[in-house]
Amino acid sequence: MRKLTIISLFFALISSFTIAAEVNIFSARHYDSDIQLYEKFTAATGIKVNVVSGKDKALQKRITEEGADCVGDLYITADAGRLGAFAAKGMMQNAGWSKAIKDAVPAQFRSAKWTGIAKRARIIYYSPERVSANELNGMTYEGLADPKWKGRLVIRKSNNIYNQSLVASLVKNRGKTTTANWAKGVVANMARTPKGNDRAQIMAVAAGEADIAVANTYYHALMLSGKKGAEQQEAAKKVKPFFPNQQDRGTHINISGAGMLKHAPNKANAVKLVEFLLSTEAQNHIVNNTFEYPMIAGVTPNDLVPGKEMNFVMDTKTSVKSYGAKQADALEVMLAAGWK
Amino acid sequence: MKFNSWYLSSFIVSFVVAIPILTVFASFFQETTNYYDILKNTFLIEYIYNSLTLLIGVLILTLVLGVGCAYVVSFYDFPGVKFFKWALILSFAVPAYIYAYSLTAFFENFGTLYSILKSLFGSGEYNQSIPKFDGMLGAILSVSFSLFGYVYVLTRASFHYQSQNLIELGQNLGFTKYKSFFKIILPSARPAIVAGLALVAMETLSDFGAVSFFGIATLTTGIYDSWISFDDLAFANQLSFFLLLFILGLFFIENISRKRAQYHSPIKGGIKEKKKIKLNFSKGTLAFVFCFLVFFISFLFPVLQMLYWTIIFPKNLFDLNTFQLFSNTIYLVFLSSIVLVVFSFISNYGNRVTKSKFLNFLTTFSITGYAIPGVILAVAFITFIAWFDNTFVKAFEFNSIKKIFIGSVFGLVIVYFIRFYSLAYNGLKTGYERINRSIDESSYLLGYSKIKTFLGIHVPYLKNSVFLIGILITIEVIKELPITLILRPFNFETFATTAYIFASQDLLEAAAVPSLFLILIASTFILITSKFILKD
């Protein structure tokens, strides 16, 4: 009897009551500032936002296995490579983005199934003490394989999605064979076996472990903001940002974005939420909290973020859609090159 | 078949627990395509190499720390010995992943140690001379300091029951202390040490949080990656096979040692109360310093690092919905403890009354679930439910059962159940073995029914065991990370998931607050039970 009572108790506990106005999010981006945005959205529209956050792949696995029973509406994550690859598995549907969304987001930053919400650039950071302006003149991502950087470069592991997308863009532009040779050159130039996150790469340059690092733009701003403490603020001042490929296709740009899940039960609400995230109010909130670049025109990036004037050449020719498409090739060439 | 209902319920419990193992093996026959065929052998070797390096490093370190501490506090009297006896088990409250965060925070470029040096000696180029405890070394340290408690507790218990005669024997033979230790004390405690090390080894192999934080590719993270990231089931299973091989081997060793350990404990005649040797000043100081260092590094260090961050960034403390996290954590703890205790009772009793060989085998098989990494358990569970739903439930046109199991507290508790079943089952079994079967017989003769014997005699008799097991489960559930992370419902966070998610977003300083709460709550529970843990 006791057993029965417990079992029935359980069923009572788990039965969830669906409220009419809600939107369910699977999010791999778990910033407190995002949660504050969702609260603002609920206050403005009365639509409740439910969130499960976690690591990308685990969330994807859960969405895939839940199949038609998945109540998730939006999948929010950083990196177009993730969105593209997941959409390619057939786990998203045409979102029916409203005109407002299509007008706000340039075509190269969205597809029918997903759209960018904020932008970031993956750039080079250097030590002005040990790297001369001359050395960096005309520097490109391709140039990271130049033997002159031998033992002077730090970059994350090959399993990192930002690297995968960067290398995917190289595969797209230069072909797989050229990129495979490039990856070997990069590995030969590494000052240490890859470890740590983007911030750790910047700090390695500040600490003198290496002369140049590859990292995303917002990390530098985060350190400069003092949110990471006074020491890191000082460290951040010891390195300078450099935007590669200014003479050709431009600097590698990536997005944070949202995709419409295949079995989304609250599609209309999900579109409303994305519209809200692309509003001036929300974009201002994002740029000042996560230090990303805005997705829409008319919003200025935070003062601390490198390239805040937005006067650098962005690679707008390489569609972010190719990051997902070339992801497997990218990982393959990196692993084959012995990129840990 | 008089015992049908007991048999059936025990069978069902054991079967549920065995599901993930069966799922992993069943997936052997699925084929998948992938891009990295050529590279696979290199990966396999790397994963095995890393797992072995980690394992050996952790085993050596936990052996030295665990046995060293147990020896010193068991045989010698020095200032603080009473304090260290229980303080050393507080390391159980610090999960390896939180230890990893602290280690990184303290030693990284421009980290806490840098700040300390700077405030002491002024600005300078300290980063180059600060040792970096990351990568494999970091993983070994994090896992060792969070697990050495197993070796400590078991070895200490063994030393505690070790006959004083053995030590006197050594003295009579004219052995030096050094020789007595290696020739007499250590060998007689060997089964307990091996049992402790086997537990450490299993936990080490299944660690996910710390190892993935340091980016070490082990068999466990390899399975996770190939299964989840690349949908490469075939390779995942190949890896699982190796991992299970390791684990079953360890399980076997642990079981044998546990059995042998019983022969070594004095059954009759009690034990002669040991007179602890009082150490002179210099040796006493040495013993104190050793114990204090272990206590400091394993417990105070991570706590202080987290505290430091909380003080430097107090905003994180006020931003956190502590009450909600606390109630979620306690809710999970409460449900899973009850379910685990109740069902292990049923299963233990079923095994006792039916005396079925098959049931016994199934139970033994199913409790290996403990050795399966939580992260793999969670994914296996999802895979199983999806398969079951698609194959059976849909075929009979019932409503899908997925929502009931995936992303619900119910499903979460089931998987906790599978994960911690062996802890509860074995705990109760130890208690049960102390109840003589003749008591059951007498009870039946007096006209008590099975159920009345169970409720009226066994349950009250095992009150203490139940209490202890309840608390051990509590500590484990509070620290549990991968299962909760993968299976939790919408808008549902615990201290562990909050800490992990902050850390994975490069917000280690924000992870400090939930980590600190987690450690404090777990410590409280450990202190409540320290009396029991140290006795048995």
Where is average pLDDT lowest: A154-163, B130-139, B280-289, B360-369? B360-369
| Residue B37 within any structural domain of the chain | no
Per-residue burial over A15-47, b if 16 or more Cβ lie within 10 Å, else e, is: eeeeeeebbbbbbbbbbbebbebbebbbeebeb
Quick one: pLDDT at residue B44?
Answer: 82
Quick one: pLDDT at residue B442?
Answer: 86
For residue B41, the surrounding DSSP H or E stretch is helix B37-75
- Chain A residue numbers with beta carbons less than 8 Å from the beta carbon of B39 are 332, 335-336
Contacts with B, A 174-193, CB within 8 Å: 193
Quick one: pLDDT at residue B308?
Answer: 93
Quick one: pLDDT at residue B38?
Answer: 55
DSSP H stretches of helix in A175-320: 176-189, 198-206, 217-224, 230-237, 267-277, 280-289
- Chain B residue numbers with beta carbons less than 8 Å from the beta carbon of A81 are none
Tell me the mean pLDDT in the region A84-88: 91
- Chain A residue numbers with beta carbons less than 8 Å from the beta carbon of B404 are 11, 14
Is any Cβ of chain B less than 8 angstroms from the Cβ of A207?
yes
Average pLDDT, chain B: 83
Contact A229 B115 (CB under 8 A): yes
Quick one: pLDDT at residue A16?
Answer: 42
- Chain A residue numbers with beta carbons less than 8 Å from the beta carbon of B339 are 6
Q: What is the DSSP letter of A110?
A: B
| Residue B29 within any structural domain of the chain | no
- Chain A residue numbers with beta carbons less than 8 Å from the beta carbon of B111 are 231
Is any Cβ of chain B less than 8 angstroms from the Cβ of A209?
yes
Is any Cβ of chain B less than 8 angstroms from the Cβ of A197?
yes
B54, B222 in Cβ contact below 8 A?
Answer: no
Where is average pLDDT lowest: A35-39, A73-77, B241-245? B241-245
- Chain B residue numbers with beta carbons less than 8 Å from the beta carbon of A232 are 110
- Residue B387 in this model has a pLDDT that exceeds 90: no
Contact B342 A2 (CB under 8 A): yes
Beta bridge partners of A49: A23
Dihedral pair phi/psi, residue A154, rounded to 5°: -120, 140
B190 burial via Cβ count (<10 Å: 0-12, 13-18, 19+): middle
Specify the amino acid at residue A153. Answer: L
A199, A233 in Cβ contact below 8 A?
Answer: no
pLDDT, tens digit, 9 for 90 and up, residues A249-290: 999 999 999 999 999 999 999 999 999 999 999 999 999 999
Q: Six-digit token pair at B173?
A: 């033979």
Alpha carbon distance B426, B371 (integer Å): 14
pLDDT, tens digit, 9 for 90 and up, residues A94-120: 999 999 999 999 998 999 999 999 999
Average pLDDT, chain A: 90
Which among B386, B413, B485 is the nearest to A58, CB-wise? B485
Whether the CA torsion B456, B461, B463, B466 is positive or negative: it is negative
Contact A24 B409 (CB under 8 A): no
Contact B402 A71 (CB under 8 A): no
Alpha carbon distance B497, A266 (integer Å): 27
Q: Could you give the percent of chain A with pLDDT greater than 90? A: 72
Q: Which residue has the tokens 């800490």?
A: B499
Instruction: Give helix B135-161 / helix B37-75 axis angle, nearest 10°.
Output: 40
Residue that wins the pLDDT comparison between B317 and A237: A237
Domain total in chain B = 1
Task: Using DSSP, state whether B242 is helix, strand or coil.
Answer: helix
User: Could you give the ipTM of this predicted complex?
Assistant: 0.81
pLDDT, tens digit, 9 for 90 and up, residues B133-151: 888 999 999 999 999 998 9
Contact B36 A332 (CB under 8 A): yes
- Residue B461 in this model has a pLDDT that exceeds 50: yes
Quick one: pLDDT at residue A1?
Answer: 47
Which CATH number is B213's domain given? 1.10.3720.10
Quick one: pLDDT at residue A154?
Answer: 97
A277, A171 in Cβ contact below 8 A?
Answer: no
Q: How confident is the model at residue A6 (pLDDT cuts 50, 70, 90)?
A: low
Quick one: pLDDT at residue A18?
Answer: 44
Query: Distance, in angstroms, between A50 CA and closest chain B CA?
Result: 6
B317, B310 in Cβ contact below 8 A?
Answer: yes
Which among A2, A24, A157 is the nearest to B490, CB-wise? A24
- Chain B residue numbers with beta carbons less than 8 Å from the beta carbon of A230 are 115
Residue that wins the pLDDT comparison between A20 and A48: A48
Where is average pLDDT lowest: A232-246, B178-192, B225-239, B297-311? B225-239
Q: Which of B340, B341, B405, B416 is nearest to B374 (CA)?
A: B416
Quick one: pLDDT at residue B180?
Answer: 80
pLDDT, tens digit, 9 for 90 and up, residues B491-535: 899 999 999 888 887 788 889 999 999 999 999 998 888 777 666
| Residue B40 within any structural domain of the chain | no
Is any Cβ of chain B less than 8 angstroms from the Cβ of A308?
no
Q: What is the DSSP letter of B205?
A: H
- Chain A residue numbers with beta carbons less than 8 Å from the beta carbon of B109 are 200, 203-204, 206-207, 209, 235
Quick one: pLDDT at residue B230?
Answer: 67
Range of the domain at B520: 4-22+45-535
Quick one: pLDDT at residue B132?
Answer: 86
Quick one: pLDDT at residue B289?
Answer: 95
Is any Cβ of chain B less than 8 angstroms from the Cβ of A42?
no
B126, B114 in Cβ contact below 8 A?
Answer: yes
Quick one: pLDDT at residue B138?
Answer: 95
B356 Cβ neighbours under 8 A, 6+ residues apart: B7
Which among A54, A195, A198 is the nearest to B134, CB-wise? A195
- Chain A residue numbers with beta carbons less than 8 Å from the beta carbon of B114 are 231
Alpha carbon distance B188, B165 (integer Å): 12
- Chain A residue numbers with beta carbons less than 8 Å from the beta carbon of B115 are 229-231
- Chain A residue numbers with beta carbons less than 8 Å from the beta carbon of B225 are 57, 159
Quick one: pLDDT at residue A15?
Answer: 44
Q: Six-digit token pair at A103?
A: 């007008």
| Residue B18 within any structural domain of the chain | yes
| Residue B164 within any structural domain of the chain | yes
- Residue A159 in this model has a pLDDT that exceeds 70: yes
Quick one: pLDDT at residue B451?
Answer: 81
Tell me the mean pLDDT in the region A23-29: 92
Beta bridge partners of A293: A119
Chain A residue with minimum CA distance to B320: A32
Contact A14 B510 (CB under 8 A): no
Most confident segment among A10-24, A223-237, B31-45, B238-252: A223-237
- Residue B261 in this model has a pLDDT that exceeds 80: no
Is any Cβ of chain B less than 8 angstroms from the Cβ of A195?
yes
Q: What is the DSSP letter of B181?
A: I
Which among A14, A65, A203 is the nearest to B386, CB-wise? A65
Alpha carbon distance B412, B381 (integer Å): 10
pLDDT, tens digit, 9 for 90 and up, residues A294-320: 999 999 999 999 999 889 999 988 988
For residue B155, the surrounding DSSP H or E stretch is helix B135-161
Alpha carbon distance B70, B153 (integer Å): 7
- Residue B262 in this model has a pLDDT that exceeds 70: no
Quick one: pLDDT at residue B533?
Answer: 64
Quick one: pLDDT at residue B1?
Answer: 44
Ordered by where they begin, the domains of chain A are: 18-119+253-308 (3.40.190.10), 120-252+323-336 (3.40.190.10)
Contacts with B, A 107-146, CB within 8 Å: none
Query: Distance, in angstroms, between B374 CA and closest chain A CA?
Result: 13
B476, B420 in Cβ contact below 8 A?
Answer: yes
| Residue B34 within any structural domain of the chain | no
Q: How confident is the model at residue B271 (pLDDT cuts 50, 70, 90)?
A: low
- Chain A residue numbers with beta carbons less than 8 Å from the beta carbon of B125 are 208
DSSP H stretches of helix in B296-321: 301-312, 315-319
Number of inter-chain CB pairs under 8 A, A vs B: 146
B17, B366 in Cβ contact below 8 A?
Answer: yes
| Residue B28 within any structural domain of the chain | no
Where is average pLDDT lowest: B53-62, B81-90, B411-420, B505-514? B505-514
Contact B491 A200 (CB under 8 A): no
Q: How confident is the model at residue B229 (pLDDT cuts 50, 70, 90)?
A: low
Contact B383 A65 (CB under 8 A): yes
| Residue B73 within any structural domain of the chain | yes
Chain A residue with minimum CA distance to B34: A328
Find the angle CA(B155)-CA(B157)-CA(B160) to the nearest 5 degrees. 110
Query: Distance, in angstroms, between B358 CA and closest chain A CA?
Result: 24
Quick one: pLDDT at residue A14?
Answer: 47
